[in-house]
């Protein structure tokens, strides 16, 4: 994983030339209030135009209207590029898998994981693996993937490594499985045409593929890692959270309230998602988030263990531990700054779920 000035410059050029900027400019979230005297403080958040993050949900619910911290949305950026931009402050907060945060911190990037986010359940997985309807590939005969191609949105994150973990556990020779990166919106067609044998799909597009009778859901990330592997926590620019700790706490508090509302109101959340993504409502799959967005050690430690299993845990990663990259310091609902042991210690919803 390369993190440095050349990557940052490349991403900025790509964003500016490709029309990624939806509101404001890179860096506006951190630098617009550099004096600390202006209110509110703005943060930059990367989101696909039809994306549906907690930040967008909170915006739809009106939670930012009177807040001391408010979003400026920028266009979609590949998750592999986000850690560098968060570290530089060009993006203030972002959601990506904990392994990306681990690699970034190991390379000296100034970021911190400050809140949990998505949570995998059996009926609400983080990722679903689709095949053609006539395929014989299942979670029980994964060696059939040898000599075939898997389609996924990007390398270096959950789509690649959780699948490799599952394949390794089932004796699959990873060298015999080809990975093709492609936008998830294009993977459906590639699957139907037979270009790929398996597609890795996240919400909300997994609902679109579930409705396609030419395809079928073969298994999900829950089959590999149950609740542990689906967390894509929220990372923050280190300089920003040191300068604006109270606004950061308000940010996490608003998103925790939003997450609890989405969990308790799936039908209303689906209606909002359908409206914002332009998907028919019956295509929209449910979102599920960690209660109160409190971080736990077990979900983070999962990535160290996974890297070890698939043989990519390097010494610079191994010397770090979850508390080196993550904290509950900015979560107003956490019992302390320390990570809780597991989500078994976080069963009570601590905000109102009525609006």
5-119+231-345 placed in CATH 3.40.50.720: no
More confident residue, 319 or 26: 319
Residue 243: CA count within 13 A, CB half-sphere: 19
Q: Which of 29-33, 74-78, 347-351 has the lowest mean pLDDT?
A: 29-33
Contacts of residue 57, defined as CB under 8 A and 6 or more positions apart, other chains included, come to 258, 261, 262, 269, 272
User: Is 19 a residue whose pLDDT tops 60?
Assistant: no
CATH architecture type of domain 128-225? 3-Layer(aba) Sandwich (3.40)
Q: Give the pLDDT confidence of 247-282 residue by residue, as tens digits.
A: 999 999 999 999 999 999 999 999 999 898 888 888
Burial class (CB within 10 angstroms; exposed 0-12, middle 13-18, buried 19+) of 18: exposed
Place of tokens 């630098």: 31
User: Is 288 a residue whose pLDDT tops 60?
Assistant: yes
Q: Give the pLDDT confidence of 184-210 residue by residue, as tens digits.
A: 889 999 999 999 999 999 877 788 888
Predicted local distance difference test score (pLDDT) of residue 229: 67
Domain-by-domain residue ranges, the chain? 5-119+231-345, 128-225
Place of tokens 């799959």: 285
More confident residue, 229 or 190: 190
CA distance 333 to 253: 7
Task: Give me 13's structure tokens.
Answer: 């050029």
Within a 10 A sphere around the Cβ of 350, how many other Cβ atoms? 14
**Coil/strand/helix, residue 38:** coil
Q: Kindly report whether the peptide bond that precedes residue 79 is cis, defined as omega within 30 degrees of 0.
A: no
Q: Check if the beta carbon of residue 310 is closer than 8 Å to that of residue 96.
A: no
5-119+231-345 shares its CATH topology with 128-225: yes
What band does 17 get if pLDDT is binned at 50, 70 and 90?
Answer: very low
Predicted local distance difference test score (pLDDT) of residue 86: 98
What band does 38 get if pLDDT is binned at 50, 70 and 90?
Answer: low
Q: How much of the chain, in percent, has pLDDT values that exceed 70?
A: 88
More confident residue, 133 or 52: 133
Q: Give the pLDDT confidence of 103-119 residue by residue, as tens digits.
A: 999 999 999 999 999 88
Phi-psi region of 209 (alpha: psi -120 to 50; beta: other; left: phi over 0): alpha
Q: Give the pLDDT confidence of 308-329 residue by residue, as tens digits.
A: 998 999 999 999 999 999 999 9
Q: Give the pLDDT confidence of 52-109 residue by residue, as tens digits.
A: 899 999 999 999 999 999 999 998 887 889 999 999 999 999 999 899 999 999 999 9
Mean pLDDT along residues 325-335 = 98
Strand partners, 149: 178
Q: Which of 102-106, 124-128, 342-346 has the lowest mean pLDDT?
A: 124-128
């Amino acid at each position: 994983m390369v993190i440095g000035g050349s990557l940052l410059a490349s991403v900025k050029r790509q964003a500016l030339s490709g029309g990624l900027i939806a509101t404001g400019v890179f860096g506006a979230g951190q630098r617009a209030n550099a004096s600390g005297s202006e209110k509110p403080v703005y943060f930059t958040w990367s989101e696909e135009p039809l994306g549906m993050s907690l930040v967008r949900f909170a915006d739809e619910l009106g939670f930012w209207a009177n807040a001391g911290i408010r979003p400026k949305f920028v266009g979609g950026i590949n998750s592999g590029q986000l850690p560098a931009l968060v570290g530089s402050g060009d993006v203030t907060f972002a959601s990506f898998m904990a392994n990306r945060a681990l690699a970034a911190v190991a390379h000296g990037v100034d970021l911190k994981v400050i809140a949990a986010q998505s949570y995998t359940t059996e009926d609400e997985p983080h990722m679903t693996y689709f095949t053609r309807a006539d395929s014989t590939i299942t979670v029980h005969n994964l060696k059939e993937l040898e000599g075939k191609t898997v389609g996924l949105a990007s390398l270096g994150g959950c789509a690649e490594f959780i699948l490799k973990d599952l394949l390794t556990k089932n004796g699959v020779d990873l060298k015999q499985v080809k990975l093709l990166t492609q936008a998830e919106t294009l993977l459906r067609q590639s699957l139907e045409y037979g270009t790929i044998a398996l597609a890795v799909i996240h919400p909300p597009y997994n609902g679109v593929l579930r409705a396609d009778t030419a395809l079928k859901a073969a298994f999900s990330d829950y089959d590999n890692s149950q609740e542990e592997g689906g967390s894509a926590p929220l990372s923050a620019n280190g300089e920003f959270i040191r300068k604006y700790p109270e606004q950061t706490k308000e940010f996490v508090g608003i998103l925790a309230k939003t997450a609890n509302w989405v969990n308790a109101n799936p039908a209303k959340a689906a209606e909002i998602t359908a409206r914002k993504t332009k998907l028919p409502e019956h295509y929209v799959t449910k979102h599920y988030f960690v209660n109160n967005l409190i971080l736990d050690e077990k979900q983070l430690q999962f990535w160290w263990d996974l890297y070890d299993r698939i043989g990519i845990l390097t010494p610079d990663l191994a010397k770090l531990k979850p508390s080196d990259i993550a904290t509950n310091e900015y979560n107003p609902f956490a019992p302390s700054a320390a990570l809780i042991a597991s989500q078994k210690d976080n069963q009570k919803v601590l905000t109102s779920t009525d609006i």
